[in-house]
Amino acid sequence: MKISFTINGEAKSVEVSDGNSPLLWAIRDGLDLKGTKFGCGKAACGACTIHVDGNAVRSCSFPAKLAEGKEITTIEGLSKDGKTHPVQQAWIDEVVPQCGYCQPGFIMATAAMLDKIPNPTDEDIDKNIINVCRCGTYYRMRKAIHRAAKMNGNTDVQ
């Protein structure tokens, strides 16, 4: 079965033998975009988080067939037009990653949250960011999220 969608601004299609199989594999292996990670395959850890029509979606539990005609963004497409996305920039500024494996999922979840809550409180962050990081980079992530929110704010002013 052939599924067509827009991913990171480009029209693509991918062939899967079962439309119910996870979109994650179509992205990672079908389109060779490896930034979206497999962690649990059960929508628990959040490493596979992407955006589908602007909303955070855990792609390991999202049937490929439902991607038909949708607008998808992965970590590779978060920064656009040669400009580093504020969340990614904040992550760099705060030197967040350790092993780095879970980070794309967190970055995508954060970007989705900041779209809807531009200035999150600590409590908002605690409630909204529920991915799993084993290295324990949460402490720096929180700082990076606040920093990204500020950077977003500055962009708006300009």
Per-residue b/e over 106-131, b at no fewer than 16 CB within 10 Å? Answer: bbbbbbbbbeeeeebeeebbeebbeb
Considering CB under 8 A, how many residues would be counted as binding another protein? 77
Q: How far is the CB of 35 from another protein (least distance, A)?
A: 2
Considering the rule CB under 8 A, would residue 39 count as an interface residue with another protein? yes
- Which of 6/140 has CB closer to another protein? 140
CA 92 to chain centre: 16
Considering the rule CB under 8 A, would residue 6 count as an interface residue with another protein? no
Show contacts with another protein in window 63-92 (CB under 8 A).
63, 66, 74-76, 79, 88, 91-92
Count of other CB atoms within 10 angstroms of residue 147: 17
- The H or E element spanning position 103 is helix 103-116
Q: How far is the CB of 116 from another protein (least distance, A)?
A: 4
Instruction: State which of residues 27, 133, 148, 151 lies at the interface with another protein (CB under 8 A).
Output: 133
Show contacts with another protein in window 40-59 (CB under 8 A).
40-45, 47, 49, 55-58
Tokens of 25: 């594999």
Q: How far is the CB of 69 from another protein (least distance, A)?
A: 15
**Of 136, 137, 86, 141, nearest to 128 (Cα)?**
141
